[in-house]
Amino acid sequence: MKGLVSVVHELASAAARGANGLAHQRIATAVMIAFFALAPLVAYPVFLMKVMCFALFACAFNLLIGYGGLLSFGHAMFLGTAGYASAHAAKVWGFPPELAIFFGTACAASLGLVTGLLAIRRQGIYFAMITLALAQMVYFFYLQAPFTGGEDGIQAVPRGKLFGLIDLKNVWAMYSLVFAVFAGGFLLIHRAVHSPFGQVLKAIRENEPRALSLGYDVNRYKLLAYVLSATLAGLAGATKVLVFELASLTDVHWTMSGEVVLMVLLGGLGTVFGPVVGALIIISMENYLAQLGSWVTVTQGVIFVICVLTFRRGVIGELGRLIGKPL
Amino acid sequence: MEIFGVPTQALFGQLLIGLINGSFYALLSLGLAVIFGLLNIINFAHGAQYMMGAFCAYFLLEKLGLGYWWALAITPFVAGAIGIVIERLMLARLYKLDHLYGLLLTFGLALIIQGLFRNEYGTSGIPYAMPQELSGGRDLGFMFLPNYRAWVIVASVVVCLATWFVIEKTKLGSYLRAATENPALVQAFGVNVPRMITLTYGFGVALAAFAGVMAAPIYQVNPLMGADLIIVVFAVVVIGGMGSIMGSIVTGFALGLIEGLTKVFYPEASNTVIFIIMAIVLMIKPAGLFGTQR
């Protein structure tokens, strides 16, 4: 009985903390939306679209680690699968962009369901190793499958006309679509995290046996979180393919899985805005330090080590601690 | 001569390659299991440390003129020393945290090491000559067996069994196993557990580097030689389960063989067969073939 009372107490205080922080989070959301709305006036729009795609990808990953406590080391498989599926649908089958994105996202969701059923059988380190291995299997599949074009990838994917009306070749039309997809995904995650479902997920992360003993079907919740995360990662991947008109092996390789871990770790594990900031920093680094070539890998490794050793809260986590409110 | 429509030469040739790969799977998964047992950390840098072993052999030959046998003797100590430094400076700070931080840290180390070597040596690979004593081979009647490959299999079996013997049958091993179960209690009995942890990590790294030296004449010395291999080894570890030393040895060799057979009968799946087996094992026995859930 005492256990139950303390759980209720914890949940209530967590909810209270959430309500306290919500005003700040609203302001932060407004700042973020304003940033992505105004930034194309000064920055290169394709770069910002890339940032938004990766920010959504990182947010999807963060949903799993930050709220479910599950570290996936294979999230590139969803990004890449959705990319290949939507590229194929748009180029070979002539799907309009909205259907191509939907098809890619649905493929990522199905892959999430299949791999999720396997991966959630183990926890912690094993979960990370299993997702990594499954992603590597998916990588080899795409390397050999004829429709992916192997090392060349699927090039010249047509952006097409959104709903048959809006020509996405126009960079501002494309920008608006990516912006809408990112904002929609972000708000969906926000909604999920603050729903009863999100609270149960946090309870499972904190103490799985206790959540189980309270009668929650722990595995179903985990699977749901995993599939949701896979779906949103897929949405990011499908959108990214339309931006760059290219689907390639880079998006399914394990280095991509590592990169999204790095973005979230640097921005702040389990924070709302951390993944967005992390994606912004890492993508900027790759863009502006491109002349460093393969030193980018070394730099990423160094950031990993520094974050783990001394900076575990990440940028937004530290910021949130400074102002005393969760961001 | 043919078996199931496959020439015996091709069949046994692939089985031999499978057994060689299996030797490396066994050595590397053994190292991972030993480290995991005591440190509760999955050493993502294991592949990079294996690669460093091969490079160490190459440097010894190029800079000091020391050949294969010297490399085999010296490299494990060099790598072990590097491992000890890594453990003392970095890993030791993480033991009180979630185990996942150890994974993330060693992943970062792997990126740094592989990135540095790739910047310096590219990705094309540097040939490393096999020792004179082991060149050539013998005809077994049903297949041709190169001496060096026979040596790799024998040496890795011996090293694996010796490790198993030390851990399962000696006094030192019993301390190790006890510390795996309950470090605080073992420390209370006067055993220096932190030092044991440090040496264990060093030993695991030394094992990876030893495998790297043995691999150098077969696969060439390449900065990325460990990058994809380590993911396969993770799958091997998941299949075997990390509870048992013998389990990881047996699983390593067996999966190498299965991979070789797949190359003969269905080459398209040879890259993925180990991952498929992992998926099947997870469905039937999630804790792994030799593992216990904890």
CA-based nearest residue to A148, from A59, A66, A253, A69? A253
How confident is the model over B138-195, as pLDDT tens digits?
Answer: 777 777 788 888 899 999 999 999 999 998 899 888 888 888 888 889 889 888 888 9
Question: Rounded to the nearest 5°, which phi and psi values hold at B95?
Answer: -65, -25
Q: Is residue B58 part of a domain?
A: yes
Helices (H), B94-226: 100-121, 147-169, 171-181, 183-188, 193-219
pLDDT at residue B71 above 60?
Answer: yes
Spatial contact of A282 and A264, defined as CB atoms under 8 Å apart: no
Tally of domains in chain A: 1
Mutate to test the interface with B, among A62, A70, A134, A137 (most CBs of B within 10 A): A137
- The beta-carbon neighbor of A124 closest among B100, B111, B234 is B100
- The beta-carbon neighbor of B275 closest among A133, A293, A300 is A133
At residue B244, the 3 state secondary structure works out as coil
The pLDDT assigned to A162 comes to 77
Q: Which residue has better confidence, A24 or B209?
A: B209
A303/B116 touch (CB, cutoff 8 Å), yes or no: no
How confident is the model over A169-178, as pLDDT tens digits?
Answer: 788 888 989 9
Structure tokens that stand for A59 in this block: 């947010």
- At residue A12 the predicted structure's pLDDT band, cuts being 50, 70 and 90, is very low
Q: Classify the C-alpha dihedral A93-A99-A105-A109 as positive or negative.
A: negative
Query: Structural domain of residue A234, as residue ranges?
Result: 45-253
The pLDDT assigned to A3 comes to 45
A145 contact B CB<8A: no
Q: Is residue B262 part of a domain?
A: no
The pLDDT assigned to B266 comes to 85
Q: Is residue A36 part of a domain?
A: no
Residues 6+ apart with CB under 8 A from B101: A308, A312, B94
Q: Is residue B256 part of a domain?
A: no
DSSP state of A63: I
Q: Is residue A281 part of a domain?
A: no
Spatial contact of A48 and A40, defined as CB atoms under 8 Å apart: yes
Query: pTM here?
Result: 0.88
Spatial contact of A262 and A278, defined as CB atoms under 8 Å apart: yes
Q: Is residue B190 part of a domain?
A: yes
Tell me which chain A residue has its CA closest to the CA of residue B121.
A294
Q: Is residue A97 part of a domain?
A: yes
Beta-ladder partners of B126: B221
Q: Is residue A293 part of a domain?
A: no
**H or E segment at B129?**
none
Spatial contact of B46 and B226, defined as CB atoms under 8 Å apart: yes
Cα B270 to Cα A154: distance, rounded to the nearest angstrom: 25
Q: Which residues of B touch A (CB under 8 A)?
A: 36, 42, 90, 93-94, 97, 99-101, 103-105, 107-116, 118-119, 228, 231-232, 234-235, 237-238, 268, 271-272, 275-276, 278-279, 282-283, 286
**H or E segment at B139?**
strand B137-139
Mean predicted lDDT score pLDDT of chain A: 86
The pLDDT assigned to A224 comes to 93
Q: What is the ipTM of this complex?
A: 0.86
Q: Is residue B207 part of a domain?
A: yes
Cα A55 to Cα A275: distance, rounded to the nearest angstrom: 6
What would the mean pLDDT of A35-57 be, rounded to a whole number? 89
A134 contact B CB<8A: yes
A297/B282 touch (CB, cutoff 8 Å), yes or no: no
pLDDT at residue A322 above 70?
Answer: yes
The pLDDT assigned to B54 comes to 93
How confident is the model over A263-295, as pLDDT tens digits?
Answer: 999 998 888 899 999 999 999 988 887 777 778
CA-based nearest distance B1→chain A, Å: 32
- At residue A5 the predicted structure's pLDDT band, cuts being 50, 70 and 90, is very low
Cα A249 to Cα A149: distance, rounded to the nearest angstrom: 9
- At residue A50 the predicted structure's pLDDT band, cuts being 50, 70 and 90, is very high
Q: Which residue has better confidence, B256 or A13?
A: B256
Query: Structural domain of residue B156, as residue ranges?
Result: 9-117+124-225
Q: Is residue B23 part of a domain?
A: yes
What would the mean pLDDT of A228-257 be, rounded to a whole number? 92
Q: Which of A16-30, A40-54, A129-143 has the lowest mean pLDDT?
A: A16-30
Q: Is residue B139 part of a domain?
A: yes
Mean predicted lDDT score pLDDT of chain B: 87
Cα B223 to Cα B115: distance, rounded to the nearest angstrom: 8
CB atoms near residue A216 (< 10 Å): 16
Helices (H), A160-217: 171-193, 196-206, 208-213
Structure tokens that stand for A205 in this block: 């992360």
A90 contact B CB<8A: no
Q: Is residue A204 part of a domain?
A: yes
* Cβ-based burial of A296 (10 A; exposed 0-12, middle 13-18, buried ≥19): middle
Alpha-carbon distances of B256 from A89, A111, B208, B267, rounded to whole Å: 38, 27, 17, 14
Residue linked to tokens 């026995």: B285
How confident is the model over A55-104, as pLDDT tens digits?
Answer: 999 999 999 988 888 899 999 999 999 999 999 998 888 888 888 999 99
Q: Is residue A83 part of a domain?
A: yes
Question: Rounded to the nearest 5°, which phi and psi values hold at B227?
Answer: -65, -50
Cα B189 to Cα A199: distance, rounded to the nearest angstrom: 44
Cα A11 to Cα B61: distance, rounded to the nearest angstrom: 63
How confident is the model over A160-198, as pLDDT tens digits?
Answer: 777 877 777 788 888 989 999 999 999 999 889 889 988
Q: Is residue B146 part of a domain?
A: yes
Cα B117 to Cα A47: distance, rounded to the nearest angstrom: 30
The pLDDT assigned to A20 comes to 53
Tally of domains in chain B: 1
Q: Classify the C-alpha dihedral A43-A49-A54-A57 as positive or negative.
A: positive
